[in-house]
Chain A
Amino acid sequence: MAGPTAAQPAGTVERLDGVVVRFAGDSGDGMQLAGTQLTNTSAIFGNDIATLPDYPAEIRAPAGSLAGVSGFQINLSEARIHTPGDGCDALIAMNPAALKANLEDLNVGGVVVVNSDAFTKGNLAKAGYDENPLEGDSLDRYRVIKVPIDTLTTEAAKDTGLGTKAILRTRNFFALGFVYWMYGRSVDTTLAWIESKFKKVPAVVDANAKALKAGYFFGDTTEAVAVRYEIRKADIAAGTYRKVTGNEAVAIGMAAAAQRANKSLFYASYPITPASDILHTLCRYQSYRVKTFQAEDEIAAMAAAIGASFAGSLGSTGTSGPGLCLKSEAIGLAVMTELPLVIVNVQRGGPSTGLPTKTEQSDLLQAAFGRHGESPVPVLAAATPSDCFAMTLEAYRIAIRYMTPVLLLTDGYLGNGAEPWRIPEVDSLPDLRVEHPKANGSAFQPYARDGKLARPWAIPGTKGLQHRVGGLEKANITGNVSHDPQNHEDMIRLRATKIAGIANDIPLQDVEGPADAELLVLTWGSTYGAVITAVQHAQAKGLSVASAHLRYLFPFPRNLQDVLRSHKKILIPEMNGGQLRFMVQGQYRVDTVGYSKTQGKPFRIAEIEQKIDEVLKG
């Protein structure tokens, strides 16, 4: 079944550096799927891409309601990009609610494709429209393309044997086909996907394929659309690429760490948004001897990971904020027993259930300090979806070398966002092989330490090394239970010194831009993309700005103080109330300017640019 190809268009073709497209519809309309398909097709075509899904907490909110609007934004570009874009250039709105909820993000002059069939009296009322926006002049600032998507889809798929309802479920593919036409993309990748996905139900393959092609041909034949757009391949480094979300990159990183350690991965997790995709990905890796365990609760997942690490596997767990709270006590046990394991926290809006499907960076202080007792745990944070892979490996490297639990922070924006990932060479990945101790005739000392202050990882089944670990304070070296006052203080210091020493084993903090720029923008986590882009814009305008992005948050890189002292002003944008700022000011006694955003949405590039201007003028 060959589809229409992206042949040279007959009409006017406008060349663009890039375009930001947003699909919006009911949460059951398949917008995430349409967005993912455009992403895959564009990535394979050779664009640089970045995506942002935006979906409601309700799985199926009432149809046509504002609460149920689900969106997916894709930035596809010829230039290098770091974010899914601020506003969008094209909005595909499947109903009035989708139009209303997203119109404010559409750039002036942008294209809006609406499913005109859905603009019924009832739907308009549900979206809170007093009059039909397609009839007045309220959309004059945009290029509106009205397409009766329901009618055309029904017509296209009428001979497939499916009922009306089932046929209408394919309208996302009609919309996607039309978008492919607008941006000169081939439908072939998606056709192949449809055929493989629905191969057991030929009628569904047929209907989806017909809808997709009908959407494409509609663009080709209708005179309603005068312009098509062309976005050429991006100039990106040579290599083999695949598209990954942050959650997938974490999962691949975990499985890769186990391969490099020559161990089996054990991942225990309790389902929680937005972290569940890590579990979904890992449970398909059984042929890599990955064992996943869907535990009865967050605590059990953490506890099982501890058990697995004690037994010699790479124990790991993943969660989001509320789950991290539940795991805290058991993380303390991992600190006391000094066992290597990795905890991934895909942060979301909090406190409590908060905004479960929206992004935030508000668990930094919890990660660094949120346990009882003196309980130091290294904290790392990934900057981009593909960086989640590298930082997961880094988390295991530190966990194994220092015999400690490690917390890796990502967030909903990274976890669900996608970008192309250049697949690394196998040999470039860290060697994580472990030498477990064997009996040597003398009494085994489970809390003796090496030069890095790490204790030995003796695993069950090793003759002569039987030993007990546990939550009670351990006597230095022997590991026996000890209530001795001085020993407790010594052990607290040993654990703290061990973790602090990791600063000598991580890269120095680098700075993008002049080392003596007047303003340093200091960031961590997913704000990287928007900030680096904004800083580049500011530098292009001639402003004295540099940026530093932290991947290591506890301990900080050992030169951070010098970096901070080299700039007159420091701006710290965060998707929280100022948590990194609190840590930096507390540790280095420097003045900084905070910039908080807690709207469940990432920073826009323009917001950061504006703030940079403001701080430099102030």
Chain B
Amino acid sequence: MSVEVEIAKLTAKDYASDQDVRWCPGCGDYSILAQTKKVMAKIGIPKEKYVVVSGIGCSSRFPYYMDTYGIHSIHGRALAIATGVKLARPDLQVWVATGDGDALSIGGNHFLHAIRRNIDINILLFNNRIYGLTKGQYSPTSEMGKRTRSSPNGSIDFPLRPLSVAIGAEASFVARTHDVNVAHLGEMIERATQHKGTSFVEIYQNCNIFNNGAFDYATGKTTRDDTTIALEHGRPLIFGKERKKGIRLNGLSPEIVDVGNGIKDDDLLFHDERSTEPTLAYMLSRMYHPEFPEPIGVFRAIDRPSYDEMLEDQVEAAVAAQGEGTLEGLLTGGDTWVVE
């Protein structure tokens, strides 16, 4: 993303609108909002250059709380609207705040196509594995067997894995973080802004009303070292409180091994976020608790041309080849004849 720095230094506060934030007290959304404002202030692009687009759901109130341009649209369509904004005005910084229902259920089609086109936008997916705004139905990321208001006998819907879907749609930037570790959250959002093309960040976000504790295993101080694994580019996959456990490839499948006892770091899987081949990123996206530690960090960050840039190039090429089109030329194009 092109970064033009404003001379007057802005702070996170400057990016806050005058509206009262109306999420439930204790909601994970607060920390995402705070980190986003912080990152925007840090990279210093003027507020008026941002358009924040959302659909429907708790997370989709996001634009109201930012002192930027914004559209709080309709359910599932944020990515399609954001696509129109970015194609019309490639100079703008376009962000999308969405949820697991908004992006993966009603908006699933737009999710696939925005990503495959690699439109230069940043998608923050607030994944709380529940429908919160409609008061507690299971979502496309809810686990099988989950009892909710719409699944009293347990959900029989197999969950989607958002990162796997994104990678399957040829995502050029894919990351995961969570709302509790604010430093990591901020770091991921910042990485997303630096990436050219669609940046997709899945954020584990706690809904303390309808799905409280859904991610305790991954965020709890006593458990997180064993249940998550931080991805670092070019480094071996090591985790655990003692950093004694690692991920090794066994054939085409990952396995957990104890480091030491003849197994060295070099025997482990090394992370490569820049691999053009998506297999490693996809495999990591399939590692889920409790069988595996769940990876957090950047899964994939590759260079791929974006649709908006290519469209702009085509327009400029057409203008260069045919000259700047005029109204006169438009009207008299094609075969004409004169009646005296």
Contacts and interface: CB of A to CB of B under 8 A. Distances in A.
A44 B319 contact: no
A16 B168 CA distance: 65
Nearest to B54: A470
B74 A333 contact: yes
B337 A240 contact: yes
B321 A463 contact: no
A314 to B, nearest CB: 9
Interface in B312-339: 314-315, 317-319, 321-328, 330-339
Interface string B216-253: 00000000000000000000000000000000000000
A337 B85 CA distance: 15
Interface in B67-87: 67-74, 77, 80-87
Nearest to A255: B330
B80 A288 contact: no
Interface in B11-52: 17, 19, 46-51
B63 interface: yes
Contacts of B67: 466
B46 A310 contact: no
A462 interface: yes
Secondary structure dominating the interface of A: mixed
A480 B72 CA distance: 12
A242 B331 CA distance: 9
A365 interface: no
Given A241-B336, A286-B315, A423-B331, A308 B77 contact: no
B53 interface: yes
A304 B69 contact: no
B336 A423 contact: yes
Interface string A303-338: 111111111110100000000000001101100010
A252 interface: yes
A288 B330 contact: yes
Given A241-B338, A308-B84, A300 B17 contact: no
B319 A466 contact: no
Interface stretch (A166-174, A289-297, A354-362, A540-548): A289-297
Contact of B51 (A295, A333, A460): A460
B275 interface: no
A426 interface: yes
Contacts of A413: none
A256 B336 contact: no
Contact of B84 (A288, A311, A468, A469): A311
B182 interface: no
A467 B66 CA distance: 9
B84 A307 contact: yes
Interface in A254-303: 255-256, 259-260, 264, 266, 268, 285-289, 291, 293, 295-297, 299-301, 303
Interface residues of A, number: 69
A424 interface: yes
A462 B91 CA distance: 12
A464 B73 contact: no
B64 interface: yes
A304 B63 contact: no
B135 interface: no
A260 B326 CA distance: 10
B89 interface: yes
A303 B77 contact: yes
B191 to A, nearest CB: 24
A243 B89 CA distance: 34
A471 B88 contact: no
Contact of A468 (B69, B88, B314, B318): B69
Contacts of B322: 287
A481 interface: yes
Contacts of B335: 40, 44, 242-243
A472 interface: yes
B89 A460 contact: yes
A303 B85 CA distance: 10
Contact of B330 (A43, A285, A307): A285
Contacts of A46: 337, 339
Nearest to B307: A293
A553 to B, nearest CB: 26
Contact of B77 (A266, A330, A423): A330
B48 A307 contact: no
Contacts of B291: none
Contacts of B70: 466-470
Interface string A437-474: 00000000000000000000000111111111111100
B150 interface: no
Q: Can you list the 10 inter-chain pairs with the closest CB atoms, starting with the nearest?
A: A307-B84, A470-B72, A304-B84, A288-B325, A303-B80, A286-B318, A308-B88, A300-B80, A468-B70, A313-B88
Given A268-B84, A468-B72, 16 more contacts: A260-B327, A264-B88, A300-B113, A303-B110, A307-B86, A310-B51, A310-B84, A311-B51, A311-B84, A313-B89, A315-B84, A329-B74, A333-B73, A426-B331, A463-B46, A469-B70
Interface of B: 17, 19, 46-51, 53, 56, 63-64, 67-74, 77, 80-89, 91-92, 109-110, 112-113, 311, 314-315, 317-319, 321-328, 330-340
23 contacts: A237-B339, A238-B340, A242-B334, A242-B336, A260-B327, A287-B325, A289-B315, A289-B319, A296-B113, A303-B73, A304-B81, A304-B84, A306-B81, A309-B84, A315-B84, A332-B74, A423-B332, A466-B67, A470-B64, A470-B70, A471-B56, A471-B72, A481-B19
